[in-house]
Structure 1
């Protein structure tokens, strides 16, 4: 159990005090009703009867108990700050969306690791081991013959492949099944994994446990959407409707940035008296870090009240949140508290600290952290080279990048090579990047994600001809062209000033492949149309983002309204649209709304026209 330290917050008299709020039975998130203030801006009105503290209520509380000493007032004041360019922040090395893992082992990855099915990379469900104390094996993966049979089956003939497997008397043990599922998930072959579970269930070849139902639920959420996944729970035997099943759904809601659904499932877990875990709280923290930082403090209060001990991942989220808010002192305070609680910083936390030090101009602190990450013998710690290469490139240290690369060069790994390509590209050393890429392409068979590293470099440097040649090489080599490549290709044309061509390419790609483009791909085109004041095309892209399943965010509305500002035309009904999406304008958006209001016509202007 973690002891709590009292942290007193001094609030302005305009905020007021509500000392009784902290004594409320704070166990649930509450629905928010919306009203407009005098300026016509939607604001939240919280119902606080024996419910989880709202952000507004929390801000009015005079004294708060937080062991983290995270500077709650600062977090609350950043409400909406992270809404702008959310994806760009994460793509530059923030924390990833968290997948459900049966082992309770929460890890993170760079969000740049997008897959070509358009989904964001999230750590896969490892349902074979429910013991959170066991470490993942660092050895070579066990090859699954069953996986090969399923993966090689043409089209929708997974059932036939499985029937043949049984007819030939091959083993169909739980271990073999779990190995196959793990490999299918790792390769994002969710459809085939789902067909496997359906076949196992219909042919009664596996006695289903809660972990199997949870795995199937996760696949349904990915393939058919959250409503279907929630409906599926009703078909699961009641004895298996436990915490693992619901947290699987919770994590899928959070990974899709669906705030309403996430809070709904969180509340339902509480209603069902399911255990409140750090995992569940971390889903909320991840989501609030992106969409509404002021609510982070609410989750921490709930964790303290319910005596939920934070995990290492909890501290990663808090450190990243403080870093994104440029509160370096607060970030360091969270880091020190983490160590006091007995947690040793891992490579992800050290990289986060170095990244935020760099972005804040604290280069000496960043370099000191990198030296600590490197250790005494880099050859023995070669697994950290890829991270070091990227971070030294962020600092503009070409000599350090060259030094690290020389350590890797004698015995390179794919990830080291691609990190070197990325690092050289960031340093505008295109020839060096191309040389490393040529070496790696001769040594290994590359996928579209690997090619996208060089393609992004060409886009950033407006090298349209080379970018087109690289895409042609990918196609000639049989590499699958999907959302990740589309993203790089769209940005390549945008950098060359050809936004209509970028829009056309994306439209054709969607028609041909029926895959979901990345959020950042749409946003890049939307931003270009907005800069031109092209309201028609801006609204068209905004609608396409909705149709693709992306929940509206403050960042999208900011870009869309900027199109109206640049066109100097009023945006009629925009406030109602924002309210309908349960969004609340931050300061930037409020200022934009005021600007477009100035373009409204009145009776006098009509007469003059």
Structure 2
């Protein structure tokens, strides 16, 4: 990892609440740095810190409280109207990898989940590619050594059990499963694992949790990954505290790194910095051999907020001899891209190549996106050509990334060319990408045509697919068209979820109907007992903030906290701007941020100073 420390020289040590041993370690390391240091963390930070634990930053230093918390480039400060970079980069949650790590052990249906796509519930939010009539073209089936007949049997068993659970929404899963057994059917580990995976993919966490409880009640043997899966479901259904309490019920022999990293991932997914650091420290105290997955979680956590601590995580990785994963590098590339530090981003890529690692399509797309946002169009175009390769037909998997990127460059002809390659036998992901791209280019009718093509090929679309077109309408303030589409969705008995709520919220906000957007989001969350997306809250909150409506901005802020969105700068920035626009001083704001482990920087620090009731002005100095 040492070549990645060459980009920056350290010049200060951040103060932490630590004991004598940690301070001594920091002093020794500072001396070591003065003699010359190299490593990954120097690309990511302008300071050097080497501790064996994570601690809350001290608040008694004005320089630290209001100092810049961005990268050395000091660029890329977020504004109140900025979209969530985590969502754009695909880092809002690591749920996919969490599920994979927890479930897909040697006894699970490894590589077989792709065979289940035809059985997806069409009415559940976030359903993946459904109704595939040509799976050999649509899916990339991994070779697990399972013969076709065994795969077909696993698929049939899991599909029947899954359908039985879906067909009885009024009954508990326990009763459905008991009835399943009474019918003389066998419950196999591979079958239940497939069913569990399907329930998770549809975000039916409550039913998945009931199935897990039933399996344990019936005496099915549980291993560490089974307990970790239960923990993950408890966290999603009941919250972090219940999940943390559940660990005491897990047999000590199964209370290992997989269990704790699952809890860690859930802490990170809701942005709870304090709990995430507590869990990570617990893992260190228990002397688990911590995997790169746990470190990636911490990198993801600090990428969203306190980017200065990214260097700390990298130092701990080096100390523990944990090699960066491809996902580690992707997080670092995204972090540098967000800060507009293109040079640092390119150095990370160079280090990857020096290590013999190759950029995949996703990384190239991520780089191209940040080149575009940084105004480096020629570099972006070069990457897109590299993604296409000699023949785009042979690199068909790149099309879904190329469509929105060419649209971001304003190249309508290139979008048309790529879509023409896909049009005769389109895949769902390509249709979604085309709708997004055509929406960016303001080609509304063409986006609608792609949606119609998608609707005809796959008759049972999920709400995520409807939301793609709904977002286009929202972005272009086409309220009437959006309302007509929503009516089509409700007429088709589509039960709405977070993706649809988000599109509806943005639709009403763009039309200036903020109160309607607020009402829709609140009613949807109460009726369906599901957590809305972070950006849904922010879209409404930012509008109230612009109006100087402190009351409603505070109300949204507390609703966000209630569902678990804490320890982020953006809600606090929006809240401060509400006070600024209302020309109202705010009291006790520093204490509120301290409680959430928020350190104001950039725009937040600037705006906070404006509403400080005790700040000195030229007039106040004369009157003293």
Same fold at TM > 0.5: yes
Structure 1 CA distance for aligned equivalents of residues 588 and 361 of structure 2:
48
The alignment yields a C-alpha RMSD, in angstroms, of 3.3
Change (3 A) 1:581 1:166: same
Does 2:524 match 1:553?
no
Q: Could you tell me how far 1:506 is from its partner in structure 2?
A: 2.3
DSSP-derived class of the 2:6 partner: strand
**Aligned position for 1:400:** 414
Report which stretch shifted further, 581-590 or 78-87. 78-87
1:76 and 1:494 mapped to 2: Cα distance?
Answer: 33
Candidates 402, 408, 412, aligned match of 2:426:
412
Gaps of 5+ in 1: 19-42, 106-114, 122-133
Distance 1:278 1:572, change over 3 A: same
- After TM superposition, give the deviation of residue 561 of structure 1 in Å: 0.9
CA distance in 2, matches of 1:281, 1:236: 24
Further displaced range: 274-283 or 85-94: 85-94
Residue in structure 2 matched with residue 7 of structure 1 by the alignment: 6
- Secondary structure of the structure 1 residue equivalent to 2:432: helix
Tell me if 1:46 matches 2:17. yes
Following the alignment from structure 1 to structure 2, what is the Cα–Cα distance between the partners of residues 68 and 364? 29
- The answer for unaligned runs of 5 or more in structure 2 is 48-69, 105-121, 129-140
* Cα offset, 1:311, TM superposition: 0.8
Question: 2:364 matched to which residue of 1?
Answer: 350
TM-aligned CA distance change 1:9 to 1:486, over 3 Å:
closer
Equivalenced residue count is: 554
Secondary structure (helix, strand or coil) at the match of 1:446 reads coil
1:130-155 Cα shifts (integer Å, max 9, x gaps): xxxx9687999935222222222223
Corresponding position of 1:387: 401
Partner of 2:242: 228
Using the alignment, how far apart are the partners of 1:242 and 1:210 within structure 2?
A: 7
TM-score scaled to structure 1, two decimals? 0.84
What CA deviation, in whole Å up to 9, does each residue of 1:495-543 have, x standing for no partner?
A: 1122122222223333433332221111111111111111122112112
Aligned equivalents of 2:289, 2:370: Cα separation in 1: 34
**Alpha-carbon distance in 1 for matches of 2:599, 2:99:** 33
1:190-209 paired onto structure 2 within 5 Å: 190-204=205-219, 206-209=220-223
Give the C-alpha shift of residue 7 in structure 1.
3.2
Q: Deviations over 1:73-118 (max 9, x none)?
A: 286547996776686222333434223255489xxxxxxxxx9989
Out of 227, 251, 254, the residue aligned to residue 240 of structure 1 is 254
Q: Equivalent residue of 1:73, what SS?
A: coil
Q: Specify the SS of the correspondent of 2:410.
A: coil
Q: Residues 228 and 149 (structure 1 numbering): CA distance in 2 closer, same or farther, change over 3 Å?
A: same
Query: 2:234 is paired with a residue of what secondary structure?
Result: helix
TM-score, normalising length from structure 2? 0.82
Deviation of the 1:216 alpha carbon:
0.8
The structure 1 residue matched to 2:43, chosen from 49, 56, 70, is: 70
How far apart, CA to CA, are the structure 1 residues paired with 2:340 and 2:30? 20
Could you say which residue in structure 1 is the equivalent of 2:88?
Answer: 92
- Distance, in Å, in 2 between the alignment partners of 1:76 and 1:556 is 21
Which residue matches 1:458?
473
Say if 2:469 is the partner of 1:470: no
- Offset at 1:576? 1.8
Q: Distance in 1 between matches of 2:426 and 2:17?
A: 56
1:3: Cα distance to partner? 6.2
Q: Which has the higher contact order (CA 8 A, sep 6+)?
A: 2
Distance apart, 1:8 and its partner CA? 7.7
Q: Deviations over 1:229-273 (max 9, x none)?
A: 111111111111111111111111111211111111111111111
Q: Which residue of 2 aligns with 1:481?
A: 496
Matched, 1:502 2:473: no
Post-superposition CA distance 1:299-321 (Å, at most 9, x none) = 11111111111111111111111
SS in 2 for 1:208: coil
Structure 1 equivalent of residue 508 of structure 2 = 493
| 1:512 alignment partner in structure 2 | 527
Q: 1:498 to 1:411 in 2, by over 3 A?
A: same
Is the Cα–Cα contact under 8 Å of residues 292 and 322 in structure 2 kept in the other structure? Answer: yes
- 3-state SS of 1:484 partner: helix
For 2:43, what is the secondary structure of its paired residue? coil
**Aligned twin of 1:216:** 230
CA distance in 2, matches of 1:119, 1:547: 24
Q: 1:389 to 1:482 in 2, by over 3 A?
A: same
| 2:224–2:254 contact (8 Å) kept in structure 1 | yes
Instruction: Report the structure, 1 or 2, having the larger helix content.
Output: 2
Over residues 142-194 of structure 1, what are the superposed CA-to-partner deviations in whole Å (9 max), with x where a residue is unaligned?
A: 35222222222223421122112212221212111211111111111111111
- CA distance, structure 2, for counterparts of residue 182 and residue 586 of structure 1: 41
1:183 maps to 198
Question: 1:367: how far off?
Answer: 1.1
Alignment of 1:128-167 (within 5 A): 142-143=155-156, 144=158, 145-167=160-182
Q: What is the distance in 1 between the residues matched to 2:527 and 2:584?
A: 36
Q: Provide Cα deviations, 1:349-374, integer angstroms capped at 9, x if missing partner.
A: 11111111111111111111111111
Instruction: Find 1:436's aligned residue among 446, 450, 468.
Output: 450
TM superposition shift of 1:51: 3.9
Distance in structure 2 (CA, Å) of the matches to 1:432 and 1:228: 48
- Shift in Å, 1:48: 5.2
* Structure 2 counterpart SS, 1:405: helix
Distance 1:244 1:371 in 2: 40
**1:44–1:584 Cα contact (<8 Å) kept:** no
CA contact (8 A) 1:95 1:320 kept: no
